């Protein structure tokens, strides 16, 4: 069973920072794109950032440019995906998901087929 496990969510004051982590099987994802999404209550799931298999960022949503960054570490057995979030705003409150694709590059939500359980991020004003 394919698993992606997120960690690092929590509550932070507006203007603060958080770093989310995701661990996934290298056997499954080392050659495929991975990405970060978020879903706020009553809203659609939104693609925030995408990395191609070699770690290059292929997509970053306009709403987070200059404040969020994603990095990737393809270790021997595990792929680690990170989302560094700075200057957080209250509207960033959402459940954040790590996701994996079955293609080397993926910039559309429909290209992602495997999902983590999500981690809650709450930004207080």
Q: What is the pLDDT of residue 71?
A: 96
What is the C-alpha separation between 111 and 87, in angstroms, rounded? 29
Q: What is the pLDDT of residue 65?
A: 96
pLDDT-derived band at 28 (thresholds 50, 70, 90) equals confident
CB proximity list for 22: less than 8 A, separation 6 or greater: 4, 5, 6, 7, 34, 36, 80, 81, 82, 83, 98, 116
The per-residue pLDDT for range 114-125, each reduced to its tens digit, is 999 999 999 999
Q: What is the pLDDT of residue 3?
A: 87
CB-CB neighbours of 22 under 10 Å: 27
Dmax (CA) for the chain in angstroms is 41
**Alpha carbon distances (Å) from 84 to 9, 27, 110:** 11, 25, 24
- Tokens (6 digits) for 90: 């209250």
The per-residue pLDDT for range 53-107, each reduced to its tens digit, is 998 999 999 999 999 999 999 998 999 999 999 999 999 999 999 999 999 999 9
More confident residue, 27 or 21: 21
Tell which phi-psi region holds residue 15, choosing left (phi > 0), alpha (psi between -120 and 50) or beta. Answer: left
């Amino acid at each position: 069973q394919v698993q992606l496990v997120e960690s690092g969510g929590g509550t932070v004051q507006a203007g603060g920072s958080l770093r989310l982590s995701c661990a996934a099987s290298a056997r499954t994802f080392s050659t495929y794109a991975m990405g970060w999404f978020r879903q706020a209550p009553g809203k659609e799931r939104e693609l925030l950032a995408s990395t191609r298999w070699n770690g290059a960022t292929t997509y970053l949503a306009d709403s987070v440019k200059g404040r969020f960054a994603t990095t990737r570490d393809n270790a021997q057995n595990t792929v680690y995906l990170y989302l560094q979030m700075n200057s957080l705003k209250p509207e960033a409150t959402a459940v954040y998901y790590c996701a994996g694709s079955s293609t080397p590059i993926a910039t559309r939500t429909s290209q992602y087929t495997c999902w983590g359980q999500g981690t809650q991020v709450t930004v207080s004003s």
